[in-house]
Amino acid sequence: METLVQKAKTGDVQAFREIFESFSSKLFLYLLSRTSAREDALDLAQEIFIDLWKELGTFEFRSDEAFSGFIFSIAKRKLYHYYQSKRETIPLDENLPGASYEMETNDYRYLTKHINMLAEKYQELLKLRYWSGLTFAEIASVLNIREGRAKVWHHRAIKKLQTLMEQHGEAI
């Protein structure tokens, strides 16, 4: 990855395209897990890669994990602005299911509902791990923690999620 980053920093469009191809899927899945709207996730991903192109000159390559962290920190900043812009415009009842809606126990939304009950740091970690498929080293870089702490938080998040699911009569 270091060679691609160095080439992209000099304006090599093909190198940047390869970086895009390496990260676009992980990034999109992460954004989708945070926005729940495909179009918003696509728009944010596009903005993130534009910002990455602009900010690449300021990045000093240390490791692949640090580069992942750099990209996902741009994503976190974009998500912050996304939530700020949406804060006042979303009606409270917009996302509520109708009265006839029945929840499937294995439904993805059901699991997401329980994940969203966890502390923010655990939500973030699980979404980076399972939606984006990041390694613990990459997650540690994104969250600015040590890899060991990322593993501990992961273990705690899974245990807390299991407890929540059991309280509601479900299992993971």
Task: Kindly state whether residue 156 falls inside one of the protein's structural domains.
Answer: yes
pLDDT of residue 110: 67
pLDDT of residue 134: 83
Task: Kindly state whether residue 81 falls inside one of the protein's structural domains.
Answer: yes
pLDDT of residue 116: 84
How many structural domains comprise the chain? 2
Q: 85 and 4 share a domain?
A: yes
End-of-domain residue from the set 90, 122, 142: 90
Tokens of 37: 């709207």
Task: Kindly state whether residue 68 falls inside one of the protein's structural domains.
Answer: yes
- The domain containing residue 44 runs over which residues? 1-90
Residue 125 to residues 36, 44, 143, 150, Cα–Cα distance (Å): 17, 20, 8, 8
pLDDT of residue 105: 38
End-of-domain residue from the set 65, 90, 115: 90
Q: 6 and 61 share a domain?
A: yes
In the numeric block, the tokens 């976190």 are attached to: 76
CATH number at residue 21: 1.10.1740.10
Residue 74 to residues 7, 60, 100, 113, Cα–Cα distance (Å): 20, 15, 40, 26
Q: Rounded to two decimals, what is the model's pTM?
A: 0.58
Task: Kindly state whether residue 96 falls inside one of the protein's structural domains.
Answer: no
pLDDT of residue 85: 73
pLDDT of residue 30: 87
Q: 10 and 57 share a domain?
A: yes
Q: 81 and 118 share a domain?
A: no
Task: Kindly state whether residue 165 falls inside one of the protein's structural domains.
Answer: yes
pLDDT of residue 87: 58
Task: Kindly state whether residue 97 falls inside one of the protein's structural domains.
Answer: no
Q: 21 and 84 share a domain?
A: yes
For 149-162, how does the pLDDT look when each residue is reduced to its tens digit (9 = 90+)? 999 999 999 888 88
- The runs of H, that is alpha helices, within 38-118 are 38-55, 64-86, 108-115
- Cα dihedral: 139, 140, 143, 145 (round 10): 160
Task: Kindly state whether residue 123 falls inside one of the protein's structural domains.
Answer: yes
The segments of the chain whose pLDDT lies below 70 read 86-110, 169-172
Q: 140 and 82 share a domain?
A: no
